[in-house]
Structure formats: C-alpha cells, structure tokens
Homo-oligomer: A and B are copies of this chain.
Amino acid sequence: MNIEVGKQLRAVRTAFGLSQRELAKRAGVTNGMISLIEQDSVSPSVGSLQKILAALPMTMADFFTRDMEAGGDVVYRAKDLPDVGTGDIQYRLVAASKPDRKMSILWETYEPDTDTGEDLLTHSGEEGGVVVEGELEVTVAGNTWVLGPGDAYYFNSRLPHRFRNTGKQPARIVSANTPPTI
C-alpha cells in the first residue's frame, strides 16, 4: 500500500524499454505480480523486488535514490552551447548549468550501422559528448534523439542508454566519462 515503489518501478522498467512480461520472465516472477506492484496494490517482499531489479540490472540503493529523472536536460543543441573560448582557441561548454561534474575524455568513431549493442548500457557515473561528424542516434531512458554535428548530450549513466550510427558515413564524437574509464 506504500506509494512510491510502484511508480518508481514503472518509471525504471519503461526507462529500460521492457514490457511487464519481459521483465517478469528475466526476473523469475509473474507478469501479474509486476502489474500489481506498479499499481501499488501490493507491497512486494524485498526478495521479490531484489529479483526484479537484478534483472534490469539495478541495485536497491539506486532504486531508492530517485535522481533518475532525465528532466529534459539531456540534449543540448549546437546553437545552444555557450562559447567559453578565450583568444584563438574556442571552447563550447556542454551542460554548463550543471555544477559538480567530474570528467575525462574519449574520441570515438562509429562505422555506418554499428551501435553499442542490443542490451542497454547502464553503469554508475555521468557521461556526455559532442557529435563532430556524421549522424548519431542516442537513446536515453526510452527517449530517442538523432544528433548531427555540433549537437551534444549529457546524462546520468544509470539511465539505460544506447548509441547507434544511423547514417551512411562514419560518425565521430567527443565524449566524456566519470569516473574515468581509461
């Protein structure tokens, strides 16, 4: 009967792009149970909730820490990136309004029709990047955008995500991760 849990589970499940039946199958519970939980008409045992979250995957601690909202601040269009360059060198700052970020850099190339795989990525930390050349489809928490040169992204890495080159030529991006993966 405790509110919150059902709504949170539904938000998380849809963010991972799974149906109730798919999630139930992976978790080893029934689809009906997930339906009842999401309607807050039952309070699941922590054992059941752990099985369900493990199938996403997600930890209990993350589940009960609701900073999972994508909140619109995911995509930053090229024209909206503030120029903080000085002198001859030009820097365009991504997600300038978000404080307390810790970063490091990667240079990536996606050949046509390649992506980060069937399963959605999800891990701790934050990540962001800028498309330099070509066209990149970005999916975060169930929302999909197609980015062109100069467009950028920034999100919490716990949100399930996927990158895909949907264009005819290689796509190149400059990306940043935290904590540093390299």
Which residues of A are interface residues toward B (Cβ below 8 A)?
A: 1-2, 5, 43-50, 59-61, 64-65
Minimum distance in angstroms from A156 CB to a CB of chain B: 15
- Number of chain copies forming the complex: 2
Apart from A45-B45, A45-B46, what 6 extra A-B contacts exist at CB < 8 Å? Answer: A2-B46, A5-B46, A43-B47, A44-B46, A60-B64, A61-B61
Minimum distance in angstroms from A78 CB to a CB of chain B: 37
Partner of A46, one of B46, B59, B61, B65: B46
* Assembly CA distance A50 to B59 (angstroms): 17
Q: Which residue of B lies closest to A62 (CB)?
A: B61
A/B interface sample: 21 pairs, CB < 8 A: A1-B47, A2-B46, A2-B47, A2-B50, A5-B46, A43-B45, A43-B46, A43-B47, A43-B48, A44-B45, A44-B46, A45-B45, A45-B46, A46-B49, A59-B64, A60-B60, A60-B64, A61-B61, A61-B64, A61-B65, A64-B64
Minimum distance in angstroms from A168 CB to a CB of chain B: 46
Minimum distance in angstroms from A3 CB to a CB of chain B: 10
Task: List, in ascending order, chain B residues with CB within 8 A of A48's CB.
Answer: 43
* Assembly CA distance A1 to B61 (angstroms): 19
* Assembly CA distance A48 to B2 (angstroms): 9
Please provide the 6 A-B residue pairs with the shortest distance between their CB atoms, ordered closest to farther.
Answer: A43-B47, A60-B64, A61-B64, A43-B45, A2-B47, A61-B65
Minimum distance in angstroms from A133 CB to a CB of chain B: 39
Minimum distance in angstroms from A152 CB to a CB of chain B: 30
Minimum distance in angstroms from A55 CB to a CB of chain B: 14
* Assembly CA distance A180 to B1 (angstroms): 37
